[in-house]
Amino acid sequence: MTTDSLPVRTDVRPQPPKDSRPARRSLRTRLRPGAGRQHHAGPLTYLLLTVAALVSLFPLYWTMVAASTDNTRVSQTPPPFLPGPHLLENLGKAWQDAALGKAMVNSFIVAGVIALSTVLFATLAGFAFAKLRFKGRNILLMLVIGTMMVPPQLSVVPLFMMMTDLGWGQKLPAVIFPTLVSAVGVFFMRQYLSEALPDELVEAGRIDGAHSLRIFWSIVLPIARPPMAVLFMITFVHAWNDFFWPFIVLDMTNPTVPVALTQLSAGYIRDQSLIMAGALLGTLPLLVMFVVFGRQIVGGIMQGAVKG
Amino acid sequence: MATSLPTTRTGERERPRQRRRTLLHRLDLRGAPYAFITPFFVVFAAFSFYPLVYTAWISLHRVELATMNVMEWVAFDNYTALWQDERFWNALLNTLTLGVLSTVPQLMTALGLAHLLNYRLRGSTFFRVAAITPYATSVGAAALVFTMLFERDFGMINWMLSLVGVDNVDWENNKWAAQTAISTIVIWRWTGYNALLYLAAMQAVPRDRYEAAAIDGASRWQQFVSVTIPGIRSTIVFTIVLSTIGATQLFGEPLIFGQGPMGVTGGADNQYQTLGLLLYEEGWKNYQMGRAATVAWVMFLLLILVFVVQRVVKRLASRRASSVRTS
């Protein structure tokens, strides 16, 4: 942490945070705002942000601690702050007690299929709304935006009847089908493609005699790859964590992870360290994803991906 | 046989093919856009729109979970029964208080956090990823962990409170304590996510506004209030709308906080039963699908009501503002 002033840059591009060092805040640097980044962070900012990061991460850390001790140690006062020796043992037990093996496989299938289909259909529809001319385009787009306002929870009663009639009760398709598409995804792809896909490219494809699907395949898809990746991850997170509908339509013989976790709290096993081990296992796949792709996910959310 | 075909033989062969190509091309131009948007609308119609309408229809009937094909017409009986049901008013009130308790602090904190993240930082990626890590945690896992942290006899939170001399709080059975604990789960999961939405909006606020404010001698706080907040107003409205929709549907947090079977009733005295829980209890505990559909439809009407009110308030506020400006 050096305090020597950096040479004052006169360009007005927002600087990447990497090469900006906390410098002594002369008036000149203070009044030289980058786009939105108008000031260097002071020690207080770092302190507050560190507290925020701790609050965010501590419950997860503590889950790990609790999952690695035994039941009597968890409930002592003061509570333990350091991991104990029983982590793997507890993870193994929780894995069996909550039938987490099957739940994990189910969750991967559900979240994977939903994320794939959401991305595919959102890109198709987003491309049509962004670049193709057709009658009723604006009205239909308004309709898509309007559907965002319909909370999915309101249709659970007839959905449950439908799924029972179809013989899909307790089966994965009952969870997958209602969420195969997402209005937010369509809107997100449309916004991106309106800006990122030049009209000339589409025209050029037409002149070469390519039909629409061909244009979509060879011109749109390569350009749309980054937002598709982001949409995939965010949809995956939401589908993995979805609770209300899966909880209603699935049972403990064939659960997704969040549904299986309720089994742990339902009182048959009041073993706190096992409960925590289960919670940790259920969160692990997404945590790994966030550690690996954290930067991309942050970028995606900031590009205007939306709470689903 | 005498048709007016062109005389050259090549023309004879070229024409139909040409015609077929232009026809296909036109068909493609006209039809493809509809083909591309069809999947979305088909799935939406089948699994969202149709069920929504059908929910209204079911709510006018008596339907038992075991015999779902038998629908007995009862007109608005379900609605009048709901109106007279104490549990409904209790759940409605709980949904409102939980909504306020979880949304207001959440968005305030998110705003502050976004402001901090907006400084030039070292390790900004780390702070941002840390902020949205809770969002990676499922309702199930988060609720389990917090239920334990809020445990009455050996929970971490009561232990911390005991350090500063506060007696053990019964987070489970005391109404306001329970609602605070449940709101904490929601706040923890969503604050970072909203902060990132605000941050994105803050970075789009033009710099010259800040410069102008600074030249006018505005302090940092004044700049925040008079430049930043107006600059991200639309995003703030957007998050309020989303959080409101989210808050009306609280389900997983109170269910798991109540630890399974007790959770459906939202505590021993329904002290934190939400409308979502009531819907589930009516349909899948009391086996009355008609009543569950009624609760669902009432929830929908309430949401619409909230937005109508919000529109009217906004209209009035803007009219007042414009009349102030013109006077």
Chain B hits for A157, CB-CB cut-off 8 Å, are 51, 55, 58, 283, 289, 292-293, 296
Collect all residues of chain B within an 8 Å Cβ-Cβ radius of residue A243: 138-140, 251-252
Mean pLDDT of B292-298: 93
3-class DSSP string for chain B: CCCCCCCCHHHHHHHHHHHHHHHHHHHHHHHHHHHHHHHHHHHHHHHHHHHHHHHHHHCCEECECCCCCCCEECCCHHHHHHHCCHHHHHHHHHHHHHHHHHHHHHHHHHHHHHHHHCCECCCHHHHHHHHHHHHHCCHHHHHHHHHHHCCCCCCHHHHHHHHCCCCCCCCCCCHHHHHHHHHHHHHHHHHHHHHHHHHHHHCCCCHHHHHHHHHCCCCHHHHHHHHHHHHCHHHHHHHHHHHHHHHHCCCHHHHHHCCCHHHHCCCCCCCCCCHHHHHHHHHHHCCEHHHHHHHHHHHHHHHHHHHHHHHHHHHHHHHHHHHHHHC
CATH fit for domain A108-240, picks 3.40.50.300, 1.10.3720.10, 3.40.50.410, 2.130.10.10:
1.10.3720.10
Q: Which of A13, A56, A206 to mutate to test the interface with B (most CBs of B within 10 A)?
A: A56
Q: Answer yes or no: do B125 and A121 touch at CB < 8 A.
A: no
Contacts of B259 in chain A (CB under 8 A): 265-267
The C-alpha atoms of residue B100 and residue B119 are separated, in whole angstroms, by 29
Q: To probe the interface with A, which of B60, B115, B133 has the most A CB atoms within 10 Å?
A: B133
* Window 81-120 of A, Cβ < 8 Å to B: none
Q: Chain A contacts of B47, Cβ < 8 Å? A: 155, 159, 177-180
Nearest to A203 by CA among A187, A215, A191, A221: A215
Residue count (chain B): 327
**Which residue, among A18, A19, A38, A215, would best test binding to B if mutated, counting the most B CBs under 10 Å from its CB?**
A38
In single-letter form, the type of residue at position B277 comes to L
Q: Please answer yes or no on whether B33 and A287 come within 8 Å at the CB atom.
A: no
According to the model, what pLDDT value does residue B203 have? 87
Every domain of chain A and the residues it spans: 108-240
- Model confidence at B262, in pLDDT bands (50, 70, 90)? low
**Is the separation of the CB atoms in B143 and B263 below 8 Å?**
no
Nearest to A302 among B144, B196, B296 (CB): B196
Q: Tell me, what's the pLDDT at A211?
A: 87
> Cβ of A224 under 8 Å from any chain B Cβ?
no
**Choice among A2-6, A300-304, B214-218, B295-299 with the minimum mean pLDDT:** A2-6
User: pLDDT digits over B145-170, tens only?
Assistant: 898 889 888 788 888 888 888 888 88
User: Cβ of A258 and B140 within 8 Å?
Assistant: yes
Contact B249 A155 (CB under 8 A): no
- To test the contact with chain A by mutation, choose from B22, B38, B40, B259 the residue with the greatest count of A C-beta atoms within 10 A, namely B40
One DSSP character per residue, A265-294 reads HTSS---HHHHHHHHHHHHHHHHHHHHHHH
- Taking only the tens place, the pLDDT of each residue in B21-66 is 788 888 888 889 999 999 999 999 998 889 989 999 999 999 888 8
* Residue A72 to chain B, least CA–CA distance (Å): 11
**From A40, A63, A306, residue closest to B119, measured CB to CB:** A40
Residues on chain A touching B62 (C-beta within 8 angstroms): none
Distance from CA of B212 to the nearest CA of A (A): 10
Q: Assess whether pLDDT exceeds 60 at residue A65.
A: yes
Handedness of CA A38, A43, A48, A49 (dihedral sign): positive
Tokens representing B225 are 């209030």
**What is residue A98's predicted lDDT score, i.e. its pLDDT?**
73
Q: Which residues pair with B73 in a beta bridge?
A: B61
Whether the CB-CB separation of A216 and A124 falls below 8 Å is answered with: yes
**A151 with B248: Cβ contact below 8 A:** yes
- Which residues make Cβ contacts (< 8 Å) with residue B83, sequence separation at least 6? none
Of B119, B138, B139, the CB nearest to A41: B119
Task: Identify the closest residue of chain B to A234 by CA–CA distance.
Answer: B136
Q: Which of A73, A265, A289, A296 to mutate to test the interface with B (most CBs of B within 10 A)?
A: A265
Q: What is the pLDDT of residue B114?
A: 94
pLDDT in tens, B98-126: 999 999 999 999 999 999 999 888 888 89
Per-residue b or e along A243-282, where b marks 16 or more CB atoms closer than 10 Å to that residue's CB: bbbbbbbbeeebbbbbbbbbbbbbeebebbbbbbbbbbbb
Distance CA B34, CA A137 (A): 9
Measured between CA atoms, how close is A108 to chain B, in angstroms? 14
pLDDT tens for each residue of B1-32: 444 444 445 545 556 777 777 888 888 888 89
Residues 6+ positions from A114 with CB-CB distance below 8 Å = A176, A179, A180, A235, A236, A239
For an interface test with B, which of A139, A154, A208, A268 has the most B Cβ atoms less than 10 Å from its Cβ? A154
Instruction: Say yes or no: A26 contacts chain B, CB-CB below 8 A.
Output: no
- Please enumerate in sequence order all residues whose Cβ is within 8 A of that of B55, keeping only pairs 6 or more positions apart, or say none: A154, A155, A157, A158, B293, B296, B297, B300
pLDDT for A37 beyond 90: no
| CA–CA gap between residue A178 and residue B41 (Å, rounded) | 12
CA B100 to chain centre: 14
Could you say which of B122, B138, B276 has the minimum Cβ distance to residue A258?
A: B138
SS (H, E, C) A19-47: HCCCCCCCHHHHCCCCCCCCCECCHHHHH
What is the reported pLDDT for A184?
A: 86
Least CB–CB distance from A35: residue in B131, B156, B203: B203
Length of chain A: 308
Q: Dmax of chain B from CA atoms?
A: 108
What is the per-residue pLDDT for A268?
55
Which residues contact residue B82 at a Cβ distance below 8 angstroms, ignoring those fewer than 6 apart? B88, B291, B294, B295, B298
User: Distance between CA A62 and CA A83 in Å, rounded?
Assistant: 9
Residues in A touching B214 (Cβ below 8 Å): 31
Average pLDDT, chain A: 81
Interchain proximity A161–B113, CB inside 8 Å: no
* Three-state DSSP string of B117-179: HCCECCCHHHHHHHHHHHHHCCHHHHHHHHHHHCCCCCCHHHHHHHHCCCCCCCCCCCHHHHH
Is the CB of A149 inside 8 Å of chain B's CB atoms? yes
**Mean pLDDT value across chain B:** 86
Q: How far is CA B215 from the centre of its chain?
A: 40
Within 8 A of A284 by CB-CB distance, chain B residues are: none
The arithmetic mean of pLDDT across residues A72-85, rounded, is 73
Cα dihedral across residues B14, B20, B23, B25: positive or negative? negative
The confidence score (pLDDT) of residue B325 equals 60
B279 CB neighbours in chain A (<8 A) are: 153, 156
| CA pair distance A248, A267, nearest whole angstrom | 19
Rounded Cα distance between B117 and B131, Å, is 10
- DSSP string across chain A: ---SPPPPP---SPPPGGG-------HHHHT---SS--SB--HHHHHHHHHHHHHHHHHHHHHHHHHTS-HHHHTSSSPP-S--S-HHHHHHHHHHHTTHHHHHHHHHHHHHHHHHHHHHHHHHHHHHHHH---TTHHHHHHHHHHHTTS-GGGGHHHHHHHHHHHT-TTSHHHHHGGGS--HHHHHHHHHHHHHHS-HHHHHHHHHTT--HHHHIIIIIHHHHHHHHHHHHHHHHHHHHH--HHHHHH--TTS--HHHHHHHHHTSS---HHHHHHHHHHHHHHHHHHHHHHHHHHHHHHHTT----
Residues from chain B contacting residue A76 (CB–CB below 8 Å): 154
